[in-house]
């Protein structure tokens, strides 16, 4: 079939290269070292794409190990295969091996699937696969190579034994190992390039593995010890029970809230997330009902919690202080980032043991979870620092952050006069000390989540998730900081400055508030424990209030603070602020945490159900409930700030819609993580991006259809965009890149008939993206190149062909991506960022929504069908019948002519209005472009 | 590079020989169109422009490649001159010169280098770019609106014409009936009007 297509497009040129030798019985087989096919030179041991039987699917990747010509002149190649992680996911999963997205596994060993002989024409194109093995024999790839690489590999998959091999033996399959590694000449100019991201990532992968083992061996003991220590500490810090209390109260409120939340959830969910929501619903409801049943148990556990929580709080605080030294070491090395993850893993195991053993362990487990929290907290710190290159002193970590916070707050103050000055000052003074508490508080949620995870099961997938999350946590805070700074820059601008300042406030505080609002609410609820209804309403109101704040800016903030203070006076506020100020990172971290929590709850729910241990049930349930509740609540509150930023000026209804949808999306993302988890592996960078993206997606889903509001959305986005735009590295902002040609993947993907079919399918699957404002003269191939260069995604693009009524200056293209996820990511990036093509046009992208694709063309107005009238009789009818059989220029003495003239008139009118519209559009457009170009020219 | 420049020149020549036609009924096929135009010119190739994103009720459009440049301009003139109806009446087709952008498989413009960059959020251009993006969307919405408006107009006109035709038809029916059932003759007798050609 490949050859058939090729013939269509003209036979590709072909010529043999260097000869190698002859073989076969009669020496009729001629081997070659290279050949040129379709303008591309291939040599032995090159990696190539081979056509997949399923054209939709990605092409296979293989290494040329033999090239020959048979006696009958047929050209053959023997390829040793590379496996995509997805292709061997079964074994990956079994062996709990994780792989990054662009990692391949070279086939090795002996058996079916190692290599195949194929017709040479099956080659689709050259594939750039880089070996990133740390093996001494492997010439290390250069940074550029890594950047350009389609895929990397360093492990092989033994097809005989179905196992992953981390090391290359002297012979991989039938191939000598020197042909497996990068070619010598490529490697010469390379040294150890630590700066390269890919490298980092991969080194992490490999390093992570080695270290995992060690840590798994060591950590448990440490943890146990620390638990004991913590127990002691806990008494000291018991005073902080207020803070601990909020957690408790949260739990209580959340019971009511969870239900209302559910109500919210259903109607708002997009169709895609609907099933997930249902699932979630089911789980939440079930947990709720459980809770109701075990009301007394609940009360009992509450008390237990009362004691445990303050303790844990204290522990958390203490731990924080203790940890930095450890962190110091860790932060010094990148690879160490993985350590905390491993720690948590090991801890989880402990958790499991404890949980299952007896009830008393419940307490312990909470301690452990606190442990985890603290660990997580510090980890955030380190990562953040790491990113900022401020690594110098670990102990300053906490201090530093508050100070930054302070700056932001001050800037806010400037614009805000001073009503709240005292509050802020309080914040600043207290921030240092309280930050710890808050950090712990924030992380506690995670901790619990993790504990639950551990309970439910210890599948490797989850570990992966943790690592992702931790990565995400690390990522976000640092960027957040940057954002704040940039916000400051904006302040001195125009009227916007105020808004921005507020934004910065909300950026900074948003999460804080969110976090804090929960706290405040929690407290309020404590006070009103008995009155469930009130609580619910309060809770519902507050988040909303929070949402509105950014909209209404400073004033609202104040009013919000009033809100909060209503609940519990400014004490809360202060604490809240402190929480926030101390833990910028935490706030954001929390965003990431949500995922964990949710997973945890879900996992746990099911786990608990299965468990059915009568004794543990009540407690477990309550715990679980707590967590479940904490989950949604947190999500609610925490996400809103993010949302706020995104949507600042969106209508309140939108805002209301937001969270649930987000949640579902989040869930979605989790699920996908679940499934993809294996592939993502411990490579920190990738998962980060993923989570970020997922979060982005959530936001997007919340944003919904109000594209007109884009305007407003983008500004507030600034913060979140930077932190989340996976495609846009900070480095590349403002720089101009060339669009390079994408490696040719075969021409047959482009035949027009197939496209419509594919488009409909893609549309249904959500992978169809409509790009607008392209140069109308772009060709489909150029659009594909652009997408490839910018997003490093392969796609099938089709420029929307111009017609008489299409805009003459704004080109559009339909692009089919490989998955809905990618499509959403691209669209998100285009919405948040600004991609300028050829220094002129910012590209607009949206998921194509082509409802009319369904069904056939319905009607064509203006042709009178002959059946409508009985045609046998009149002259007119006869005319009509004749007309049907032939096409003609109508004569001026017929009825048809008159009618036709009317149509001509309409066509003229239509011409006229289209011209007018396009002219107006062009004017508007050019007016804007004029401003734009000036700047761009200056830039260039 | 030289080759692709040549290729592009050839393509441009092809564009000039091509006529864009729309207001075509969905039943129109390549053969119908060829047959319809063969009375004037030699059609080399017919390509329908797929309608991916507009409402399906939009009439079809096609690119008709003629043998020579003259034929192309001749057919455009002819169709503009008198209503030319293909496979149905009375709505005529419309023709105009084709443009490069209308072609699906077109070679890349030679020598063009595309660049891209992500605008920094602090860049003053970011704001402008954002506005342009919004404007683009707005324009798309306006275009869509106008398109719907046009479809509506077309529908109205079609309905109105159908009414007219029906009225005509009724009239003829009536006359026919009157003639065939001898009513006309009786009336003629009564009023003494000779019905010479009845």
- For residue A104, give the H/E element and its range: strand A103-108
Please give the Cα distance from A220 to A284 (Å, whole number). 33
Given the structure tokens 């939009």, which residue do they identify? B58
Q: Please report, for chain A, how many H helices and E strands are present, in that order.
A: 26, 24
Q: In this structure, how many other beta carbons lie within 10 angstroms of the beta carbon of residue B154?
A: 23
| CB-CB neighbors (< 8 A) of A837 in chain B | 114-116
Which of the listed ranges A70-79, A578-587, A751-760 does the model predict with the highest average pLDDT?
A: A70-79
Structure confidence by residue, pLDDT tens digits, B121-142? 777 778 888 888 888 888 888 8
Mutate to test the interface with A, among B121, B127, B150 (most CBs of A within 10 A): B121
Kindly state the DSSP code that residue A862 receives in the 8-state scheme: T
The band of A391, judged by pLDDT with boundaries at 50, 70 and 90, is very low
Q: Is residue A830 domain-resident?
A: yes
Q: Is residue A746 domain-resident?
A: yes
For A335-361, the three-class secondary structure string (H helix, E strand, C coil) is HHHHHHHHHHHHHHHHHHHHHHHCCHH
Burial class of residue A653 in the structure, from the number of CB atoms within 10 Å of its CB (0-12 exposed, 13-18 middle, 19+ buried): exposed
Structural domain count of chain A: 2
Burial class of residue B73 in the structure, from the number of CB atoms within 10 Å of its CB (0-12 exposed, 13-18 middle, 19+ buried): middle
Q: Is residue A88 domain-resident?
A: yes
Name the residue range of residue A157's domain.
14-180
Structure tokens at B163: 């009414």
**Among candidate residues A539, A545, A512, the one with its CA nearest the CA of residue A524:** A539
| CB-CB neighbors (< 8 A) of A874 in chain B | 169, 172-173, 176
Q: Is A935 on the interface with B (CB under 8 A)?
A: yes
CB neighbour list of residue B122: distance below 8 Å, 6 or more residues apart:
A486, A489, A490
> Under an 8 A CB cutoff, do A860 and B135 touch?
no
Q: Is B56 on the interface with A (CB under 8 A)?
A: yes
| Strand-pair partners of A115 | A80
Structure tokens at A836: 């300028």
Q: Is residue A765 domain-resident?
A: yes
Which residue blocks in chain B are alpha helix, DSSP H?
2-16, 30-38, 69-81, 124-180, 183-191
Given the structure tokens 């969106």, which residue do they identify? A650
Q: Is residue A650 domain-resident?
A: no
Count chain A–chain B contacts defined by CB atoms under 8 A.
331
| CB-CB neighbors (< 8 A) of B102 in chain A | 801-803
| CB-CB neighbors (< 8 A) of A770 in chain B | 53
For A31-55, the three-class secondary structure string (H helix, E strand, C coil) is EECEEEECCEEEECCCEEEECCCCC
Q: Is residue A152 domain-resident?
A: yes
CB neighbour list of residue A406: distance below 8 Å, 6 or more residues apart:
A424, A427, A428, A431, A581
Structure confidence by residue, pLDDT tens digits, A131-189? 888 777 788 888 788 777 888 888 888 887 777 777 777 777 777 777 777 776 543 33
Position A783 pLDDT exceeds 70 = yes
Please give the Cα distance from A34 to A18 (Å, whole number). 6
CB neighbour list of residue A857: distance below 8 Å, 6 or more residues apart:
B26, B56, B57, B60
Q: Is B153 on the interface with A (CB under 8 A)?
A: yes
Range of lowest pLDDT (A100-104, A669-673, A753-757, B84-88): A669-673
pLDDT for the residue A733: 60
Q: Is A811 on the interface with B (CB under 8 A)?
A: yes
Given the structure tokens 């939440």, which residue do they identify? A284
CATH number at residue A34: 2.30.30.490
Burial class of residue A267 in the structure, from the number of CB atoms within 10 Å of its CB (0-12 exposed, 13-18 middle, 19+ buried): exposed
| Strand-pair partners of B115 | A738
Please give the Cα distance from A489 to A487 (Å, whole number). 5
List C-alpha distances in Å: A292 to A285, A287, A854, B73, B196: 10, 9, 48, 83, 101
Position B73 pLDDT exceeds 80 = yes
| CB-CB neighbors (< 8 A) of B106 in chain A | 779
Write down the mean pLDDT value for chain A: 53
Structure confidence by residue, pLDDT tens digits, A179-198? 777 776 543 333 333 333 33
Contact indicator for A471, A592 with CB cutoff of 8 Å: no
Q: Is residue A301 domain-resident?
A: no
Q: What is the pTM of this model?
A: 0.41
CATH number at residue A819: 3.30.70.330
Compute the nearest-CA separation of B69 from chain A (Å): 20
Given CA atoms A60, A63, A65, A70 in this order, what sign does their dihedral have?
Answer: positive
Contact indicator for A561, A612 with CB cutoff of 8 Å: no
Question: What integer is the mean pLDDT of B66-79?
Answer: 87
| Strand-pair partners of B46 | B64
CB neighbour list of residue A273: distance below 8 Å, 6 or more residues apart:
A661, A664, A665, A667, A668, A701
Mutate to test the interface with B, among A718, A889, A892, A912 (most CBs of B within 10 A): A889
Last residue of a domain, one of A165, A180, A195: A180
List C-alpha distances in Å: A581 to A432, A435, A436: 9, 7, 11
Mutate to test the interface with A, among B8, B28, B114 (most CBs of A within 10 A): B114
B17 SS3 class: coil
A472: Cα within 13 Å, side-chain hemisphere: 29
Structure tokens at A807: 């805009």
Note the residue count of chain B: 198
- A552 against B56, higher pLDDT: B56
Contact indicator for A384, A585 with CB cutoff of 8 Å: yes
Pairing of strands A151-158, A103-108: parallel
Q: Is B7 on the interface with A (CB under 8 A)?
A: no
Please give the Cα distance from A437 to A516 (Å, whole number). 12
Chain A, 864-903: which have a CB under 8 Å from a chain B CB?
864-865, 868-869, 873-877, 880, 883-884, 886-890, 892, 895-903
Structure confidence by residue, pLDDT tens digits, A321-378? 333 333 333 333 333 334 443 444 444 444 444 443 443 333 443 444 434 443 433 3
Tell me how far the alpha carbon of residue A666 is from its chain's centroid.
10
CB neighbour list of residue A169: distance below 8 Å, 6 or more residues apart:
A108, A177
Position A768 pLDDT exceeds 70 = yes
The band of A99, judged by pLDDT with boundaries at 50, 70 and 90, is low
CB neighbour list of residue A42: distance below 8 Å, 6 or more residues apart:
A34, A35, A36, A48, A64, A67, A123, A126
Please give the Cα distance from A919 to A810 (Å, whole number). 12
Question: What integer is the mean pLDDT of A700-716?
Answer: 34
Position A619 pLDDT exceeds 80 = no
- Using alpha carbons only, how large is chain A's radius of gyration in Å? 31
Position A78 pLDDT exceeds 80 = yes
**Among candidate residues A498, A504, A509, the one with its CA nearest the CA of residue A546:** A509
The band of A732, judged by pLDDT with boundaries at 50, 70 and 90, is low
ipTM confidence score: 0.86
> Under an 8 A CB cutoff, do B101 and A887 touch?
no
- A586 against B111, higher pLDDT: B111
Given the structure tokens 């285009």, which residue do they identify? A830
Last residue of a domain, one of A114, A147, A180: A180
Pairing of strands A115-119, A123-126: unpaired
> If you measure CA to CA, which chain B residue comes closest to A734?
B119
Q: Is A804 on the interface with B (CB under 8 A)?
A: yes
Q: Is residue A71 domain-resident?
A: yes
Q: Is A809 on the interface with B (CB under 8 A)?
A: no
Last residue of a domain, one of A180, A205, A236: A180
| CB-CB neighbors (< 8 A) of B159 in chain A | 861
- B15 against A383, higher pLDDT: B15
Which residue among B157, B165, B172 sits closest to A903, beta carbon to beta carbon?
Answer: B157
Structure confidence by residue, pLDDT tens digits, A875-901? 444 444 444 444 566 666 677 788 888
Burial class of residue A905 in the structure, from the number of CB atoms within 10 Å of its CB (0-12 exposed, 13-18 middle, 19+ buried): exposed
- End-to-end distance of chain B based on CA atoms, in angstroms? 79
Structure confidence by residue, pLDDT tens digits, A813-824? 888 888 888 888
- A667 against A758, higher pLDDT: A758
User: Angle at the Cα of A383 (from A382 to A386), degrees rounded to 5?
Assistant: 85
Question: What integer is the mean pLDDT of A923-934?
Answer: 77
């Amino acid at each position: 079939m490949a050859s058939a297509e090729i013939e269509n497009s003209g036979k590709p040129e072909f010529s043999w290269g260097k000869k190698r030798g002859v073989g076969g019985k009669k020496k009729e087989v001629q081997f070659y070292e290279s050949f040129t096919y379709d303008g591309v030179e291939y040599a032995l041991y090159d990696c190539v794409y081979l056509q997949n039987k399923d054209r939709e699917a990605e092409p296979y990747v293989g290494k040329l190990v033999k090239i020959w010509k048979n006696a009958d002149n047929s050209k053959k190649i023997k390829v040793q295969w590379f496996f995509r992680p997805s292709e061997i996911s079964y074994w990956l999963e079994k062996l709990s091996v994780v792989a990054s997205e662009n990692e391949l596994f070279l086939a090795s060993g002996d058996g079916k699937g190692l290599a195949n002989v194929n017709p040479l024409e099956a080659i689709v194109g050259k594939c750039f696969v880089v070996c990133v093995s740390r093996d001494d024999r492997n010439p290390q790839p250069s940074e550029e190579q890594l950047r350009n690489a389609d895929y990397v590999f360093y492990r092989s998959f033994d097809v005989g034994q179905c196992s992953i091999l981390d090391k290359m033996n002297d012979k991989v399959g039938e191939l000598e190992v020197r042909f497996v590694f990068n070619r010598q000449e490529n490697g010469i100019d390379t040294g150890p390039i630590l700066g390269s991201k890919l490298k980092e990532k991969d080194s992490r992968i490999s390093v992570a593995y080695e270290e995992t083992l060690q840590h798994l061996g060591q950590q448990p003991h440490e943890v146990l010890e620390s638990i004991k220590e913590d127990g002691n500490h806990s008494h000291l810090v018991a005073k902080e029970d207020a803070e601990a209390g909020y957690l408790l109260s949260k739990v209580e409120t959340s019971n009511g809230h969870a239900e209302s939340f559910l109500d919210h959830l259903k109607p708002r969910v997009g169709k895609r997330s609907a099933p997930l929501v249902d699932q979630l619903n089911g789980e939440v409801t079930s947990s709720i009902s459980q809770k109701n049943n075990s009301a007394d148990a609940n009360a009992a556990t509450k008390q237990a919690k009362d004691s445990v929580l303050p303790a844990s709080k204290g522990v958390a605080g203490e731990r924080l202080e203790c940890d930095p030294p450890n962190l110091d070491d860790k932060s010094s090395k990148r690879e160490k980032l993985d350590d905390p993850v491993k720690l948590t893993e090991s801890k989880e195991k402990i958790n499991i043991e404890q949980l299952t053993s007896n009830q008393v362990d419940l307490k312990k487990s909470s301690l452990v979870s606190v442990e985890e929290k603290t660990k997580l907290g510090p980890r955030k710190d380190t990562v953040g620092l790491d990113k900022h290159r401020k690594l110098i002193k670990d102990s300053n970590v906490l201090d530093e952050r508050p100070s930054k916070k302070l700056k932001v707050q001050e800037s806010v103050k400037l614009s805000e006069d001073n009503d709240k000055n005292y509050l802020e000052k309080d914040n600043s003074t207290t921030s240092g000390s309280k930050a710890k508490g808050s950090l712990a508080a924030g992380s506690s949620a995670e901790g619990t989540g993790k504990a639950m995870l551990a309970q439910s099961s210890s599948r490797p997938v989850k570990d992966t998730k943790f690592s992702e999350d931790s990565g995400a946590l690390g990522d976000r805070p640092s960027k957040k900081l940057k954002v704040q700074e940039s916000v400051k820059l904006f302040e001195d601008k125009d009227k916007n400055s105020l808004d921005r300042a507020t934004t910065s406030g909300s950026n900074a505080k948003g999460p804080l508030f969110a976090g804090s609002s929960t706290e405040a609410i929690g407290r309020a609820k404590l006070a009103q424990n008995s009155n469930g209804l009130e609580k619910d309403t309060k809770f519902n109101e507050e988040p909303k209030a929070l949402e509105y704040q950014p909209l209404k800016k400073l004033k609202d903030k104040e009013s919000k603070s009033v809100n909060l203070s209503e609940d519990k006076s400014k004490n809360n506020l202060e604490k809240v602020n402190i929480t926030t100020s101390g833990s910028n990172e935490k706030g954001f971290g929390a965003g990431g945490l949500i995922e964990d929590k949710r997973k945890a709850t879900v996992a746990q729910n099911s786990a608990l159900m299965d468990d059915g241990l009568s004794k543990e049930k009540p407690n477990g349930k309550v715990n679980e409930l707590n967590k479940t509740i904490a989950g949604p609540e947190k999500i609610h509150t925490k996400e809103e700030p993010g949302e706020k930023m995104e949507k600042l000026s969106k209508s309140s209804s939108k805002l209301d819609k937001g969270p649930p949808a987000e949640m579902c999306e989040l869930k979605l993302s989790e699920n996908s993580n679940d499934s993809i988890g294996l592939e993502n592996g411990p490579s920190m960078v990738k998962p980060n991006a993923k989570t970020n993206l997922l979060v982005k997606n959530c936001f997007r889903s919340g944003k919904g259809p109000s594209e007109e509001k884009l305007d407003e959305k983008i500004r507030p986005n600034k913060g979140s965009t930077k932190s989340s735009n996976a495609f846009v590295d900070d480095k590349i902002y403002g720089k101009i890149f060339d669009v390079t040609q994408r490696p040719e993947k075969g021409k047959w993907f482009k035949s027009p008939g197939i496209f419509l079919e594919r488009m409909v399918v893609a549309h249904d699957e959500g992978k169809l993206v409509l790009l607008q404002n392209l140069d109308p003269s772009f060709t489909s191939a150029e659009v594909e190149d652009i997408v490839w260069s910018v997003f490093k995604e392969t796609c099938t693009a089709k420029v929307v062909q111009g017609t008489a009524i299409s805009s003459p200056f704004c080109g559009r293209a339909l692009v089919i991506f490989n998955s809905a996820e990618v499509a959403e990511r691209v669209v998100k990036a285009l919405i948040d960022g600004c991609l300028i093509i050829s220094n002129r046009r910012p590209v607009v992208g949206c998921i194509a929504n082509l409802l009319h694709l369904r069904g056939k063309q319905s009607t064509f107005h203006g042709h009178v069908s002959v059946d409508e009238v009985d045609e046998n009789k009149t002259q007119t009818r006869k005319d009509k019948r004749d007309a049907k059989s032939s096409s003609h220029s109508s004569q001026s003495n017929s009825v048809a002519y008159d009618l036709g003239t009317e149509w001509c008139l309409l066509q003229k009118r239509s011409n006229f209005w289209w011209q007018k519209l396009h002219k107006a559009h062009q004017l508007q457009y050019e007016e804007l472009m004029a401003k734009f170009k000036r700047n761009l020219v200056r830039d260039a | 590079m030289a080759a692709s420049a040549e290729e592009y020149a050839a393509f441009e020549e092809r564009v000039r020989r091509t006529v864009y036609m729309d207001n075509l009924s969905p039943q129109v096929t390549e053969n119908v169109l060829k047959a319809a135009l063969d009375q004037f010119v030699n059609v080399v190739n017919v390509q329908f422009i797929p309608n991916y994103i507009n409402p399906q009720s939009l009439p079809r459009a096609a690119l008709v490649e003629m043998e020579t440049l003259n034929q192309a301009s001749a057919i455009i003139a002819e169709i503009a001159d008198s209503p030319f109806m293909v496979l149905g009446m009375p709505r005529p087709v419309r023709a105009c010169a084709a443009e490069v952008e209308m072609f699906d498989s077109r070679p890349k413009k030679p020598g063009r280098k595309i660049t891209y960059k992500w605008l920094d959020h602090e860049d003053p251009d970011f704001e402008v770019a954002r506005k342009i993006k919004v404007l683009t969307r707005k324009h798309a919405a306006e275009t869509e609106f106008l398109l719907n408006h046009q479809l509506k107009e077309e529908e109205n006109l079609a309905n109105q014409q159908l009414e007219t035709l029906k009225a005509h038809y009724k009239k003829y029916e009536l006359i026919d009936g009157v003639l065939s059932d001898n009513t006309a003759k009786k009336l003629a007798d009564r009023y003494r009007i000779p019905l010479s050609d009845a």
